[in-house]
Amino acid sequence: MNSTQERFNQSQLYRNRKFTINDVWSINSNWVNDLRLQYAYYSLANQNPCSTCPQDVTIVDLGQVTVGPGDNQYQKQNTYSVVDNLSWAHGKHTFKFGGQYMHFIYPQFFLSRSNGDNWYKTMQTLVNDLEPDVRGRTLRNAGSGFFLGTQSAMYGFLQDDIKVTPRLTLNLGLRYEYWTNPVGDETQALNAISSVPGVINFGIPKTDKNNIAPRVGFAFDPTGSGKTAIRAGFGIYYDVKFQNFASITLPPQLQSELDPASACTLTPQPSWCATHTNFLAGGGLPATYIPPATQADARALTTSYIDDTVMPKVLSWSLSVQRELYHNSSLEVRYLGTRGVSLPVQYRRNRTSYFDAGGAVLPTFLNPSSIPATWNANTPTDVGYYNFDSNIYAPFGFAANVTSDPPYGSSTYHGGSISFTQRAFRGLTLNTNYTYAHAIDNSTNEFFTSLLNPRRAEDTNRLVNDRANSDLDVRHKFVLSLIYELPKTTTGNRFLKALLNGYQISPVFLGQSGQPVTIQSAVDSNGNGDTAGDRAVFNPSGTGQVSGDVFPVCELPGGTTYVGTTSFLSADLNGCNANSSAPFGFDPAIGYTPVNPGDRYVIAGAGARSTIGRNSITTPGFGVLNLSVFKNTHISETKYLQLQAQVFNILNHPNYSLSNGNVFSNAGVVTATTTQSYVLPFDPNFLNPKVFSGGIRSITLGVKLFF
């Protein structure tokens, strides 16, 4: 983690080693066996630079800025692999079959939120040291962070390339993959005491054995001249389920996650539970792990569930036409489509929304003239919202969020590209490509690698409502790269020849459209106990890209209404006037209205429904020109020295867009991609592209010796 404060700078230590033994045996002219034995070692260690620092705090009205160190982490992975492939050429057929066995010894340690995550709506709440008031986001883990990720993988395949005619080749293949679950998954059985028959069963997760992957394709020369090729193919591919899903979901017998509600069920209670004041002074969420002694304790501390393994699957198909234009040059037009299924989605199993439970939606009166002057007994209010308990497992004694990663996600990608390639010709090598593509999915950010996109759906029970442009959707992309070797000088002077020859110039231009982000409210609008996915309200009468907070529309006992003068985000509850005889001590709200009726985007208050779709806003695109210059000086026939000068963004043109062209960045890095201010309607930097880095010019000089 990078920071201007030294105590928050976090070091990372990586180590890698790889060894390979390869034996290729030509049995005869038709049979060839390829055997590979491989070993790889990898380790990573992060250290918390300030273990005595206060707990991490996030302040919503300051753009969700977070202050605090990261968590300790280490992992070591020893990988052993045996691969054996056998090829047989027989007539028109070229058969290839073989397999691979891999074994991973993978101990790791990571205790997420070990320092506590405390979320405050306002800086004032933090200054007053009140209990953090952002529902579902104040959490702390305690206990063991050790997870044994040891597992094995086995692959087998058959492939036949058939030369049907001199101009047509058919490719047929079948592959099977099997992965064991990480050994650490078995720790879920330690929590069997928390099982509820017919509701949730804490046992050892099952492996996925149904991973058959057929492949089919062809290559066709329509003219027989060898200058045109038509290729097409279809295949099914499987991905590995990340161990992160299991390693951060240990049972309460090893690790527990506390929020304010579950912390106050402990005996003894934290001192702040009685008054909800002096939160940090009273130690905040406790870090002391207390093993559950009874079924009631175990259920109250259960925070996770590991589903039976279903490997993520991608169906992929493509069609391309390639044509040689002239010597060493070709043009290719290509279409690629993919369909992803069984993708992991972060899901809080025990939560349902107020709306799913039949709760009435409170209106957002975008036009102040539409606010009713009176109310009646049938007018819904926010009392039902505040009385609602989203925890459907509460009757069984579960107090915290029970989070899992079931295979509910799906994606679709369609892309068309045109590429021109000029291989080395008179010192020039050129590649250029333009791609138009559209990526759609219902989840991308389950590891929270972007703060500009939600990590969970607004309502996971209605995942279809989150199907939209993917976080990774880049609609247009153009790349031009070339390498030009300057003509050689034939002077007889040896010194001048060495000085004037061996130069290469390589400019690269990259331009692409922006990526989608989601306008978020940071308010639990739908009452499911989670602010992560809740979006804002769109005002069609609003102008520009302005946004803001809302006032509550409140009811008086006499049957009249009034607009509160305290905005929702600044209020202790709903922003209505204090009323000791009313539920929760304030007049009920019957809806909301923008603080500024001209705002195009406003937050969705408690019990209001958002009207903006996921990823409905696109950040600015960018274009950058880089230049590299190389000077190669031969020392001998087998050795040469290369001097390098590389200039990134040589024109020093500011690109106020997402860094590196995507929304993802290293966790904890303090850059524009890790602030939510760009997508929060109440923030002064809302949709202001200058919160992103402009990408200043940088120059790198280097020397390499090749031998």
The tally of CA atoms less than 13 A away on the side-chain side of residue 501 is 14
Bridge partners, residue 146, by sequence: 109
Residues 360 and 304 in one domain: no
Residue 400, both tokens: 């915290």
Domain boundary among 558, 590, 618: 618
> Tokens 């280490």 label which residue?
74
pLDDT on residue 50: 64
pLDDT band at 34 (very low <50, low <70, confident <90, very high): very high
Evaluate whether residue 3 is within a structural domain: no
Average pLDDT over residues 26-38: 96
Question: Which residue did the predictor score with more confidence, 110 or 439?
Answer: 439
pLDDT digits (tens, 9 = 90+) for 87-136: 999 999 999 999 999 999 999 998 888 888 889 988 899 999 999 988 77
Evaluate whether residue 11 is within a structural domain: no
pLDDT on residue 207: 97
How far, in Å, CA of 97 to CA of 549, rounded? 63
- Judged by average pLDDT, the poorest of 335-339, 459-463, 674-678, 686-690 is 674-678
- Judged by average pLDDT, the poorest of 182-196, 381-395, 404-418, 632-646 is 632-646
* Burial class of residue 638, CB neighbours in 10 A (0-12, 13-18, 19+): exposed
Does pLDDT of 682 surpass 80? yes
pLDDT digits (tens, 9 = 90+) for 527-562: 999 988 999 999 999 988 888 999 999 999 889 999
Residues 235 and 181 in one domain: yes
How far, in Å, CA of 678 to CA of 197, rounded? 45
Average pLDDT over residues 464-477: 95
Evaluate whether residue 696 is within a structural domain: yes
User: CB neighbours (10 Å) of residue 19?
Assistant: 9
What pTM does this model have? 0.86
How far, in Å, CA of 124 to CA of 131, rounded? 12
How far, in Å, CA of 410 to CA of 407, rounded? 9
> Tokens 């590991």 label which residue?
306
Evaluate whether residue 104 is within a structural domain: yes
643 within 8 A of 566, measured Cβ to Cβ: no
What is the side-by-side strand order in the sheet with 537-538?
537-538, 601-602, 547-548
Domain boundary among 574, 593, 618: 618
* Burial class of residue 540, CB neighbours in 10 A (0-12, 13-18, 19+): exposed
Residues 141 and 209 in one domain: yes
Residue 104, both tokens: 């991973």
Residue type, 424: A
Evaluate whether residue 79 is within a structural domain: yes
Does pLDDT of 3 surpass 50? no
Average pLDDT over residues 659-673: 36
Residues 664 and 608 in one domain: no
pLDDT digits (tens, 9 = 90+) for 502-528: 899 999 999 999 999 999 988 999 999
Task: Calculate Rg over the CA atoms of the chain.
Answer: 30
pLDDT on residue 1: 34
Specify the DSSP element, H or E, that contains 105.
Answer: strand 93-105
Residues 685 and 582 in one domain: no
Does pLDDT of 2 surpass 60? no
pLDDT band at 697 (very low <50, low <70, confident <90, very high): confident
Task: Give the contacts of 117 (CB within 8 A, at least 6 positions apart).
Answer: 55, 56, 58, 137, 138, 139, 140
Evaluate whether residue 418 is within a structural domain: no
pLDDT on residue 663: 31
pLDDT on residue 671: 37
> What values do phi and psi take at 584, rounded to 5?
65, 10
Residues 627 and 611 in one domain: no
Average pLDDT over residues 217-246: 94
Q: How many domains does the chain have?
A: 3
Could you check whether the bond before residue 395 is cis, i.e. omega within 30 degrees of 0?
A: no
Residue 268, both tokens: 């003894």
How far, in Å, CA of 617 to CA of 598, rounded? 19
Does pLDDT of 432 surpass 90? yes
Residues 85 and 224 in one domain: yes
482 within 8 A of 507, measured Cβ to Cβ: yes
Evaluate whether residue 118 is within a structural domain: yes
Closest by alpha carbon to 459, among 537, 360, 525?
Answer: 525
pLDDT on residue 70: 67
Residues 184 and 261 in one domain: yes
Angle (nearest 5°) at CA 313 between 342 and 229: 145
Residues 148 and 282 in one domain: yes
Return the DSSP state at 58.
E
pLDDT on residue 48: 63
User: CB neighbours (10 Å) of residue 269?
Assistant: 12
- Judged by average pLDDT, the poorest of 29-38, 279-288, 432-441 is 279-288
Residues 250 and 386 in one domain: no
> What values do phi and psi take at 60, rounded to 5?
-65, -45
pLDDT digits (tens, 9 = 90+) for 168-178: 999 999 999 99
Residue type, 446: E
pLDDT digits (tens, 9 = 90+) for 409-421: 999 999 999 999 9
pLDDT on residue 489: 80
85 within 8 A of 96, measured Cβ to Cβ: yes
Average pLDDT over residues 631-644: 88
Domain boundary among 602, 618, 634: 618
Q: Distance from CA of residue 425 to its chain's centroid?
A: 42
User: How long a stretch of residues is the chain?
Assistant: 707
DSSP codes of every residue in 119-131: EESSHHHHHTTBP
pLDDT band at 668 (very low <50, low <70, confident <90, very high): very low
Average per-residue pLDDT for the chain: 90
Does pLDDT of 255 surpass 50? yes
pLDDT band at 684 (very low <50, low <70, confident <90, very high): confident
Residues 104 and 202 in one domain: yes
pLDDT digits (tens, 9 = 90+) for 131-146: 998 877 888 888 899 9
How far, in Å, CA of 133 to CA of 573, rounded? 10
Residue 706, both tokens: 């090749």
Domain extent, residue 634, equals: 504-512+620-706
Closest by alpha carbon to 285, among 271, 267, 275, 304?
Answer: 271
pLDDT on residue 661: 32
DSSP codes of every residue in 283-317: TSS--------SHHHHHHH--B-PPPP---EEEEE
pLDDT on residue 64: 72
Does pLDDT of 54 surpass 90? no
**What is the β-pairing status of strands 56-59 and 117-120?**
parallel
pLDDT band at 658 (very low <50, low <70, confident <90, very high): low
Residues 377 and 254 in one domain: no
356 within 8 A of 259, measured Cβ to Cβ: no
Evaluate whether residue 358 is within a structural domain: yes
Question: Which residue did the predictor score with more confidence, 12 or 187?
Answer: 187
pLDDT band at 666 (very low <50, low <70, confident <90, very high): very low
pLDDT band at 77 (very low <50, low <70, confident <90, very high): very high
